[in-house]
């Protein structure tokens, strides 16, 4: 999820654990503050800016970056690209953790978090795109959990139930892709209701499509990025099978990401043309838009393409970092920077330290749990009892 | 991975930078916008002559006329350095009389401009762009913008021209109108002056001249005005009109002309002599008599005081907007015609939001704070009563199928008689019959009753009308003045109370009593610029209990 | 395999079936409940006395503000509705000719907040009011994001039970036959309450009677699909802080496309993905079979060759001595069997090689 800063977990008091521990303690304090003082005192949110980085980063970026789960499993199980098999489990785990943390982070942003199940069980606001997001995220989280359970069952040694779950793989995968398509795009569709608030360069009736397509690129880049991260830090947990296919996965996804980014660049340009928004490009926001489009879409697309052609692993990894940052940048633009662009500067939103603190806390939590699981369960390696059982 | 980190940091910085830029968009958008006023000039001409014939190859040329006039004058040359003369008047076009093909035009401009610039450069003078410096003239996005104040020929400026001793008198006349006004004689293909038929220039010189007319409105004006002013200058007259662009169209210079005008008007005792065009003093406006159109009965004729109205407006064309030589009804027919833009006679006279119609122009006068107190309250587009029509329509009307046909002098006689009969002061019931105070106690449970100085208010209104012919003519019955507050009920010295129509609730858009009172009082005070009491100061009218 | 695909489709179809209610609502034009009520605000009449603000505060039992409602100095700064204020009057124009504009919930005919709410906390009542039900509100604030007029506000200081706060056109008072608080208190009838259709006629009549006093537009007649609260003004609406670029599309129309795509995706995706799976599986199977066939052919060919060599050798043996024959035969058989033994190993490898193929 992010960069764990450690060299090896030899002692319980290594740098990583210390830093992570400190962040977690601060996060807990902030959590207490949030639920005793209310959202007002701990955030810079106000009546003009009801959504801040807890939505812009934790939800929008979290969901987009957890797209690795459905892209990888689709590539492996649906498109039959078996060499991605070793990458599926880490991707599913990341996705599961990502979504779980998104839901966790939402608890901070929601006014009455315990009512989160209300839209599904108490009062269904079916005209709302947020309802669609909620329903899909809930179902997908369940799907991801079930998809992840084999690793857990292997760790626990429950063979029978594992077998049942493994048989469901294809159904789960298709279900997962459907749900992901729906809610990834719905996150973009959330903003289609506010054409008057979002800058015309970002607003488009095609926003659902933009969000969906960019999430594919984000998912694949995240798998590459996170794979290379784990490769370095969790090398000892990886088996030969994983290591053997790792480079292949990187090249495969690199190639695909280059294509998807190219397509994404193309449809975004079409969107500008469709609404005839060219004249906005010369404004300050135009500069921002061009930075996003050229620096974070066209550039990584090019780097990916070159990296795949030259079999240059490090170039692909760089491209993946830029893409991941680009997705974050895009989601920030849509949800915060280009949102409420019509308001005077004094009424604009900038996150408070507490808000940032909570987000950092949640990311750290994710990394810690990821480490906990990957160092124990068969994620980067195949469980010796189930070798070749796929 | 070291490189990756670097890249990560770089991207981070980029994001932050872009974010900050995004947040300061307002400040960003300020940069690069041209400064206000600083680079707006009246003499900027965009030369795009070729655009009329084909698409421009390069952007239009930015040309500063006054800068060139000055430079040419410094070299001891006059307008003919650039403009050819055509039968005495200077042509509006550059170094030619007629436009040719695009190639020809291009050649004229390039040779004309560059040869002069080159000569200057050779002589070591500061000069304009040379061969090869295309973009110095053909600028895509020039920093300077053209802004011209309209150069109007108001009555007073018109007077300064026709009264001028410098302008030669017309042959056998003691007026000089022919110096500017002309018509085209189709028989001898010549321009000639016909006394009494002076026209608006724009009748013939439209933006797209047709037939024998060659010049557009602006070409005609510039040709006439500037050449005449130039002649005066060469004749060493002590006072001549402007010859440069800014002279008429510059914001400051236009204001100077206005000042001079005001001084002249003051010298004349604030009344301009009438134009020597033999305008009628009084006109009887009747519905037009159309052949073969049977009219059962016509609206009663209106006596129009033409003489008085001449002084009320700034130019004849404020009413005679198209031509001086036809009556209104020749285009604005009863049913509307194409010539009159399908504006019917009724609309032409009564349209409330036109400044040319009688009602529209009177409505503008009613904006005067002295009048607005009452008139702001009154609906504009609604006919109040038949009495209001009869104030103007009090002339003869045909009641049979025979239209009224009279000769012009008989009509004028009737009109002047009607005008003579108009009252010279507003009619009003006896002062003692006006209740001195009116007590309003609608809000009695919240505030003390409010005591309205009824008589004082009415008398101050009537004071404001003194000496105003229009007010005198229109407030012609003793109860007219009462009608703006005591509205919608038959005029009476004992009008029904407000509460008889305005109940406790809004009905059909009719305000409830409280709002009715507040609406009347506050709207009147506001439109008469009465600052105190403020509308929001409840206790100024209703003492606290 | 077929069964699995079918199951997948079934599962996705279930999601699809549970979602498309939103799509149904889209597309049709809704022009408000017949006879629904509304309010007409006339900026040419408003004097900025803040009596409406005071009345609103009173009837909704909101906390007392810092500065009293008699203090008109607050008009000098731009204010917006907040959790303690359902309505505010702002001053625009020049100091000599101030124009006042009241802002509060406009009670859209098709409210963005209601369309955005995922728990149906907002409801457009047949009487025109858009009301809020805090008993189901989760506090996600999507309504605030969605509202084009920036009206809903939120109790940010409330840690556990924050509510979204906004004007409800005094729906409770309306039920009792009373006017909304602000309308009842307006001393100049800058606010007129009545049937929306009626109000539009009144507004048109005002414009017609005084064409010089009004901008010829009734703000809210069509904005965002129409609102129950409408405005008349003597100056362009932009100058009194009202956005003229909102368009006439209602909020549900804006999201209709995205919602309509949901059942399509849910229905089509499983078919497509199942198809892709089937095709890729089939391809793999075909490739497998082809490989197997190739291997079998190779074996057959090798055996045939071996046999041929054997018979050749046998023929030769006729002319050679018996011992020599035996030696030759043995040698030939050995030679012939060698590739046959190797082939089965090769076929195994071919079977697994798909992993390495890229």
pLDDT digits (tens, 9 = 90+) for C271-305: 999 898 888 888 888 988 999 999 999 999 999 99
B381-420 per-position pLDDT tens digit: 777 677 788 889 988 876 655 555 678 888 889 999 999 9
Alpha-carbon gap: A119 to the closest alpha carbon of chain C (Å) = 5
Question: What's the whole-number mean pLDDT along residues B275-301?
Answer: 78
For A322, which of B11, B24, B26 is closest by C-beta distance?
B11
Q: What is the pLDDT of residue C64?
A: 92
Name the residue with higher pLDDT: A5 or B397.
Answer: B397
Asked if C146's CB is within 8 angstroms of A129's CB, the reply is no
The pLDDT-based confidence of B23 (bands split at 50, 70, 90) is: low
Burial classification of residue A135, based on how many CB atoms lie within 10 Å of its CB (0-12 exposed, 13-18 middle, 19 or more buried): buried
Give the number of other Cβ atoms within 10 Å of residue A132's Cβ.
28
Judged by average pLDDT, the poorest of A127-131, B370-374, C318-322 is C318-322
Asked if A128's CB is within 8 angstroms of C118's CB, the reply is yes
| B536 touching C (Cβ < 8 Å) | yes
Q: What is the pLDDT of residue B386?
A: 74
The pLDDT-based confidence of C135 (bands split at 50, 70, 90) is: very high
Cβ proximity of B352 and B359 under 8 Å: yes
Residue C2 has pLDDT above 60, yes or no: no
What is the percent of chain C where pLDDT is above 90? 56
Q: Which of C70, C212, C215, C232 has the highest number of chain B CBs within 10 A, making it the mutation to test binding with B?
A: C212
Judged by average pLDDT, the poorest of A156-160, C8-12, C149-153 is C8-12
Instruction: Measure the CA angle with vertex B430, ends B428 and B431; round to 5°.
Output: 95
- Identify the CA nearest to A89 among candidates A179, A156, A185, A166: A166
B-chain residues near A290 (CB < 8 A) = none
Name the residue with higher pLDDT: C103 or A151.
Answer: C103
How many angstroms separate the Cα of C349 from the Cα of each of A351, C338, C340? 59, 18, 15
Question: What's the whole-number mean pLDDT along residues B11-27?
Answer: 60
Determine the length of chain B. 545
| B62 beta partners | B46
Cis peptide before B533 (omega within 30 of 0): yes
Q: How far apart are the first and last CA of chain A?
A: 27
**pTM score:** 0.79
Q: What is the pLDDT of residue A389?
A: 53
Asked if A328's CB is within 8 angstroms of B15's CB, the reply is yes
Q: Which of residues 18-47 of A touch C (CB under 8 A)?
A: 34-41, 43, 45-47
A124: left (phi over 0), alpha (psi -120 to 50) or beta: beta
Q: What is the pLDDT of residue B401?
A: 54
For A78, which of C141, C258, C277 is closest by C-beta distance?
C277
Question: What's the whole-number mean pLDDT along residues A172-196?
Answer: 92
- Identify the CA nearest to A89 among candidates A304, A298, A238, A279: A238
- Identify the CA nearest to B411 among candidates B293, B517, B227, B288: B288
Residues 6+ apart with CB under 8 A from A113: A106, A107, C138
Q: What is the DSSP letter of B282?
A: E
Q: What distance lies between CA B440 and its chain's CA centroid? A: 44
Residue B134 has pLDDT above 70, yes or no: yes
Q: In this complex, how many residue pairs, one in chain B and one in chain C, have their CB atoms less than 8 Å apart? A: 52
Q: What is the pLDDT of residue B50?
A: 85
Q: What is the pLDDT of residue A270?
A: 92
Judged by average pLDDT, the poorest of B211-220, C163-172, C254-263 is B211-220
Structure tokens that stand for A59 in this block: 């939800």
Question: What's the whole-number mean pLDDT along residues B24-38?
Answer: 45
Residue C9 has pLDDT above 80, yes or no: no
Neighbours of chain A (3+ CB pairs under 8 A): B, C
Mean of pLDDT over chain A: 88
Give the residue from chain B lying closest to A285, CA to CA: B22
Judged by average pLDDT, the poorest of A322-336, B155-169, B388-402 is B388-402
Q: What is the DSSP letter of B495?
A: P
A274-317 per-position pLDDT tens digit: 988 888 988 889 999 999 999 999 999 999 999 999 998 889 99
Q: Which of residues 170-189 of A touch C (CB under 8 A)?
A: 170-171, 174-175, 177-179, 181-182, 185-186, 189
Q: In this complex, how many residue pairs, one in chain A and one in chain B, have their CB atoms less than 8 Å apart? A: 60
Q: Under DSSP, is residue B285 helix (H, G, I), strand (E, B) or coil?
A: strand
Q: What is the DSSP letter of B385?
A: -
Question: What's the whole-number mean pLDDT along residues B6-32?
Answer: 58
Residue A171 has pLDDT above 70, yes or no: yes
Q: What is the pLDDT of residue A187?
A: 93
Cβ proximity of A356 and A362 under 8 Å: no
**Hunting for tokens 């607005």 — which residue is that?**
B372
Residue C329 has pLDDT above 70, yes or no: yes
Judged by average pLDDT, the poorest of B156-170, B333-347, B393-407, C17-31 is C17-31
How many angstroms separate the Cα of A86 from the Cα of each of A92, A142, B141? 11, 22, 60
Name the residue with higher pLDDT: B486 or A8.
Answer: B486
The pLDDT-based confidence of B334 (bands split at 50, 70, 90) is: confident
B-chain residues near C193 (CB < 8 A) = 506
Asked if A314's CB is within 8 angstroms of B4's CB, the reply is yes
Q: What distance lies between CA C293 and its chain's CA centroid? A: 53
| C138 touching A (Cβ < 8 Å) | yes
B-chain residues near C210 (CB < 8 A) = 379-381
Half-sphere exposure of A300 (CA within 13 A, CB side): 37
Judged by average pLDDT, the poorest of B3-12, B65-74, B529-538 is B3-12
Q: How far apart are CA C37 and CA C229, in angstroms?
A: 9
Question: What's the whole-number mean pLDDT along residues C94-103?
Answer: 91
Alpha-carbon gap: A141 to the closest alpha carbon of chain B (Å) = 30
- Identify the CA nearest to B535 among candidates C346, A381, C51, C291: C51
| A288 touching B (Cβ < 8 Å) | yes
Dihedral sign for Cα atoms in the order A170, A174, A175, A177: positive
Residue C144 has pLDDT above 90, yes or no: yes
Q: What is the pLDDT of residue C24?
A: 41
Q: What is the pLDDT of residue C26?
A: 43
Q: How far apart are CA A48 and CA C141, in angstroms?
A: 11
Dihedral sign for Cα atoms in the order A281, A286, A287, A291: negative
Q: What is the DSSP string of A285-301?
A: HHHHHHIIIIIIIIHHH
Q: What is the pLDDT of residue A6?
A: 41
Name the residue with higher pLDDT: C261 or B294.
Answer: C261
What is the percent of chain B where pLDDT is above 70? 90
Question: What's the whole-number mean pLDDT along residues C201-216?
Answer: 91
φ, ψ for residue C42 (rounded to 5)?
-115, 105
Name the residue with higher pLDDT: B433 or C104.
Answer: C104
Q: How far apart are CA C351 and CA B123, in angstroms?
A: 94
φ, ψ for residue B516 (rounded to 5)?
-65, -50
Q: What distance lies between CA B392 and its chain's CA centroid? A: 25
How many angstroms separate the Cα of C94 from the Cα of each of A17, B530, C20? 63, 17, 51
B-chain residues near C201 (CB < 8 A) = 509
A198-253 per-position pLDDT tens digit: 999 999 999 999 999 999 999 999 989 888 888 777 777 777 777 777 888 888 89
Q: For chain A, how long is the longest CA-to-CA vector? A: 63
Structure tokens that stand for C16 in this block: 């699809």
Q: In this complex, how many residue pairs, one in chain A and one in chain C, have their CB atoms less than 8 Å apart? A: 227
Structure tokens that stand for B444 in this block: 């009695």
Q: What is the DSSP letter of C119?
A: T
Give the number of other Cβ atoms within 10 Å of residue A51's Cβ.
22
Q: What is the pLDDT of residue A234?
A: 75
The pLDDT-based confidence of C45 (bands split at 50, 70, 90) is: very high
């Amino acid at each position: 999820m992010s960069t764990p800063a450690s060299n090896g977990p030899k002692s319980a008091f290594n740098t990583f654990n210390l830093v992570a521990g400190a962040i977690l303690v601060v996060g807990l304090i902030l959590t207490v503050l949030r639920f005793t003082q209310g959202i007002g005192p701990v955030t810079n949110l106000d009546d003009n800016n009801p959504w801040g980085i807890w939505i812009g980063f934790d939800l929008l970026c979290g969901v987009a970056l957890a797209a690795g789960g459905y892209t990888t499993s689709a590539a492996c199980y649906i498109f039959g690209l078996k060499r991605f098999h070793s990458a599926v489990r880490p991707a599913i785990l990341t996705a599961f953790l990502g979504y779980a943390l998104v839901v966790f982070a939402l608890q901070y942003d929601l006014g009455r978090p315990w009512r989160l199940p209300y839209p599904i069980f108490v009062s269904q606001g079916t005209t709302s795109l947020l309802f669609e997001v909620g329903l899909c995220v809930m179902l997908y989280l369940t799907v991801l959990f079930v998809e992840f359970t084999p690793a857990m069952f292997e760790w626990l040694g429950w063979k029978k139930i594992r077998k049942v779950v493994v048989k469901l793989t294809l159904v789960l995968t298709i279900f997962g892709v459907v749900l992901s398509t729906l809610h990834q795009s719905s996150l973009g569709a959330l903003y289609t209701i506010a054409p008057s608030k979002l800058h015309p360069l970002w607003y488009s009736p095609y926003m659902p499509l933009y969000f969906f397509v960019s999430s594919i690129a984000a998912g694949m880049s995240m798998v590459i990025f996170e794979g290379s991260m784990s490769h370095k830090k969790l090398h000892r947990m990886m088996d030969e099978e994983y290591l053997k296919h790792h480079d292949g996965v990187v090249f495969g996804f690199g190639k695909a990401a280059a294509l998807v980014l190219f397509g994404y660049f193309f449809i975004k340009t079409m969107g500008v043309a469709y609404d005839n928004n060219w004249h906005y490009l010369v404004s300050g926001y135009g500069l921002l838009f061009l930075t996003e489009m050229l620096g974070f879409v066209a550039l990584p697309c090019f780097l990916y393409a070159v990296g795949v052609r030259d079999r240059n692993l490090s170039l692909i990894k760089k491209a993946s970092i830029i893409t991941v940052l680009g997705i974050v940048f895009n989601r920030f633009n849509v949800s915060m920077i280009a949102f409420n662009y019509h308001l005077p500067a004094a009424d604009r939103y900038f996150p408070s330290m507490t808000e940032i603190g909570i987000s950092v806390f949640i990311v750290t939590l994710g990394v810690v749990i990821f480490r906990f699981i990957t160092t124990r369960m068969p994620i980067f390696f195949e469980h010796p009892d189930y070798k070749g059982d796929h | 991975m070291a490189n990756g980190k670097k890249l990560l940091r770089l991207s981070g910085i980029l994001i932050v930078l872009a974010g900050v830029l995004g947040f300061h968009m307002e400040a960003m958008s300020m940069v690069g916008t041209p400064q206000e006023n600083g680079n707006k000039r009246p003499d900027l001409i965009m030369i795009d002559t070729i655009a009329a014939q084909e698409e421009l190859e390069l952007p239009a040329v930015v040309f500063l006329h006054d800068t060139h006039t000055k430079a040419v004058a410094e070299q001891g040359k006059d307008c003919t350095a650039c403009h050819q003369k055509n039968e005495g008047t200077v042509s509006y076009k550059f170094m030619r009389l007629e436009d040719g093909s695009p190639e020809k035009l291009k050649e004229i401009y390039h040779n004309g401009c560059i040869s002069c610039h080159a000569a200057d450069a050779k002589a070591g003078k500061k000069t304009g762009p040379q061969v090869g410096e295309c973009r110095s003239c053909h600028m895509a996005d020039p920093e300077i913008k053209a802004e011209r104040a309209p150069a109007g020929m108001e009555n007073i400026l018109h007077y300064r021209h026709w009264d001028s001793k410098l302008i030669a008198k017309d042959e056998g006349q003691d007026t000089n109108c022919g110096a500017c006004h002309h018509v085209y004689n189709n028989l001898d293909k010549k321009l000639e002056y016909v006394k009494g038929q002076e026209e608006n220039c724009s009748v013939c010189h439209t933006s797209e001249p047709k037939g024998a007319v060659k010049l557009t409105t602006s070409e005609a004006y510039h040709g006439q005005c500037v050449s005449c002013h130039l002649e005066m200058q060469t004749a060493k007259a002590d006072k001549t009109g402007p010859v440069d662009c800014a002279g008429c169209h510059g914001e400051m210079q236009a204001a100077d002309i206005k000042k001079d005008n005001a001084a002249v008007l003051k010298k004349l005792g604030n009344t301009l002599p009438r134009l020597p065009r033999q305008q009628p003093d009084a006109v009887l406006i009747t519905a037009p008599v159309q052949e073969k159109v049977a009219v059962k009965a016509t609206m009663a004729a209106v006596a129009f005081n033409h003489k008085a109205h001449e002084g009320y407006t700034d130019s004849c064309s404020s009413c005679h907007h198209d031509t001086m030589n036809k009556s209104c009804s020749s285009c604005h027919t009863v049913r509307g015609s194409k010539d009159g833009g399908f504006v019917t006679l009724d609309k032409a006279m009564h349209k409330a939001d036109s400044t040319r119609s009688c009602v529209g122009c009177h409505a503008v006068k009613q904006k005067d704070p002295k009048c607005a107190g009452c008139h702001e309250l009154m609906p504009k587009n609604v006919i109040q009563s038949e009495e209001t029509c009869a104030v103007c329509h009090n002339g003869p009307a045909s009641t049979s199928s025979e239209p009224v046909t009279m000769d012009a002098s008989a009509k004028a006689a009737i009109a002047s008689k009607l005008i003579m009969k108009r009252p010279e002061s507003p009619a009003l019931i006896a002062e003692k019959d006006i209740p001195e105070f009116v007590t309003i106690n609608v809000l009695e449970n919240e505030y003390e009753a409010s005591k309205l100085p009824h008589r004082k208010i009415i008398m101050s209104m009537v004071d404001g009308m003194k000496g105003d012919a229009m007010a005198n003519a229109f407030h012609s019955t003793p109860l007219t003045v009462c009608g703006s507050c005591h509205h919608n009920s038959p005029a009476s010295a004992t009008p029904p109370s407000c509460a008889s129509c305005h109940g406790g609730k809004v009905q059909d858009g009719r305000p409830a009593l409280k709002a009715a009172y507040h609406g009347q009082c506050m709207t009147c005070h506001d439109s008469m610029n009465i600052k105190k009491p403020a509308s929001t100061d409840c206790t100024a009218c209703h003492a606290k209990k | 395999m077929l069964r699995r695909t079918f199951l997948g489709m079934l599962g996705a179809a279930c999601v699809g079936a549970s979602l498309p209610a939103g799509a149904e609502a889209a597309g049709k034009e809704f022009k408000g409940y017949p006879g629904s009520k509304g309010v007409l605000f006339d900026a040419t009449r408003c004097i900025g006395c803040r009596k409406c603000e005071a009345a609103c505060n009173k009837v909704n039992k909101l906390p007392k503000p810092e500065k009293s409602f008699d203090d008109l100095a607050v008009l000098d700064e731009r204010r917006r509705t907040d959790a303690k204020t359902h309505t505010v009057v702002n001053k625009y124009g020049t100091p000599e000719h101030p124009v006042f504009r009241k802002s509060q919930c406009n009670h859209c005919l098709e409210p963005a907040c209601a369309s955005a709410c995922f728990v149906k906390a907002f409801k457009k009542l047949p009487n025109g009011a858009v009301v809020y039900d805090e008993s189901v509100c989760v506090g996600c604030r999507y309504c605030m994001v969605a509202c084009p007029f920036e009206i809903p506000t939120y109790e940010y200081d409330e840690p556990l039970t924050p509510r979204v706060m906004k004007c409800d056109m005094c729906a409770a008072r309306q039920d009792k036959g009373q006017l909304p608080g602000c309308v009842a208190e307006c001393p100049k009838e800058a606010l007129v309450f009545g049937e929306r259709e009626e109000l539009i006629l009144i507004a048109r009549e005002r414009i017609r009677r005084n064409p010089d006093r009004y901008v010829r537009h009734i703000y809210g007649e069509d904005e965002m699909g129409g609102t129950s609260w409408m405005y008349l003004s003597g100056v362009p609406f932009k100058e009194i802080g009202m956005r003229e670029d909102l368009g006439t599309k209602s909020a549900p129309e804006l999201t209709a496309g995205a919602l309509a795509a949901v059942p399509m995706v849910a229905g089509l995706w499983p078919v497509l993905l199942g198809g892709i799976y089937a095709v890729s599986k089939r391809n793999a199977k075909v490739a497998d079979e082809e490989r197997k066939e190739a291997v079998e052919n190779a074996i057959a060919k090798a055996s045939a060759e071996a046999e041929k060599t054997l018979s050749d050798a046998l023929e030769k043996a006729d002319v050679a001595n018996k011992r020599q024959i035996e030696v030759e035969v043995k040698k030939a058989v050995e030679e012939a069997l060698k590739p046959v033994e190797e082939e089965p190993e090769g076929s195994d490898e071919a079977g697994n090689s798909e992993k390495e193929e890229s």
